Amino acid sequence: MLKFFGMRIINLASGSDGNLTYLETDNIKLLVDIGLCCSEVVKRLALLNVCPEQIDAVLVSHEHSDHIKGADVFCSRYNKPIYAHYEVWKGLDEKLKKIPDSNKKMFEYESFLLKDLTIIPFSLPHDVPCFGFAFENNLKKVSILTDLGHTNNRILECVQGSQVVYIEANYDKEMLGKNEKYPLILKRRIAGKNGHLSNEDSACAIANLVYGGTRQVILSHLSRENNSPKTAFDTVVRELKKLGIVEGVHVRIDVATNLPGVIFKLV
């Protein structure tokens, strides 16, 4: 059989209710975050004809439940290694009681290799230790960055040159401001330096990445309460246009939801 050479990536769930991304190369099948319950993870993998037994490893960005909900059961039931930064493990360890220590894998700030996949972790400003990832294989690059209050040069440098970028567009400023269900302290946390990216913040980072060659962006981790796919898309497209970047011409923008998205093949 012909070898494929390249990466395939698909978001299987995104947003405050749970995050799950599947990435594969010829040699590795990886889950990035596992914020759905184990049975739902298995169901969504089945849509790709992937069995849980085939997964090589789970990579986790941070300890919030929308990123680790299924980790304990999935990794213990199927005996899978779980990778997180050592700062993340400080809060994660006590939440994952079923997973044996031998399957708890730690990385540091440097990039590392899992089979034929290079993983470049970078720290994100969130209210707990949190990491984004760039993945490289066969001269292609894809990045995932969600749960960050702002971007900085170091983050953008790590993501720069990615063909495909999953980036958070968490909230619409007006919807968050008017949301009467949220106490002021929570609104401040979300909109703060260590909270989440607004649609405008996201557009600003996307512009920077488009100048560096990114041609496909997926708006991710939308708030169910304070955003909608249409609002996120329209705001980002409008903000990019102000900077001379036209959606569909210079970059393609899609929106990730709580349902499985599109497979991107990087060859």
> Residues interacting with Zn ion, by CB under 5 A?
64, 66, 147
Q: How far is the CB of 234 from Zn ion (least distance, A)?
A: 23
Q: Which is nearer to Zn ion, 66 or 239 (CB)?
A: 66
Q: How far is the CB of 69 from Zn ion (least distance, A)?
A: 11
Q: Which is nearer to Zn ion, 125 or 212 (CB)?
A: 125
Q: How far is the CB of 8 from Zn ion (least distance, A)?
A: 24
Q: Which is nearer to Zn ion, 18 or 260 (CB)?
A: 18
Rounded Cα gap, residues 240 and 204, in angstroms: 8
Q: How many CA atoms lie within 13 A of 257 on its CB side?
A: 9
Of all residues in the shown chain, the one whose CB is closest to Zn ion is 64
Cβ contacts of residue 52 below 8 Å, gap of 6+?
41, 42, 45, 74, 77, 78, 80
* Token pair for 153: 């040069």
Q: How far is the CB of 1 from Zn ion (least distance, A)?
A: 38
Q: Which is nearer to Zn ion, 33 or 136 (CB)?
A: 33
Q: Which is nearer to Zn ion, 91 or 212 (CB)?
A: 91
Q: How far is the CB of 16 from Zn ion (least distance, A)?
A: 7
Q: How far is the CB of 66 from Zn ion (least distance, A)?
A: 4
Asked if 191 contacts 198 with a C-beta cutoff of 8 angstroms, the reply is yes
Q: Which is nearer to Zn ion, 66 or 136 (CB)?
A: 66
Q: How far apart are the first and last CA of the chain?
A: 17
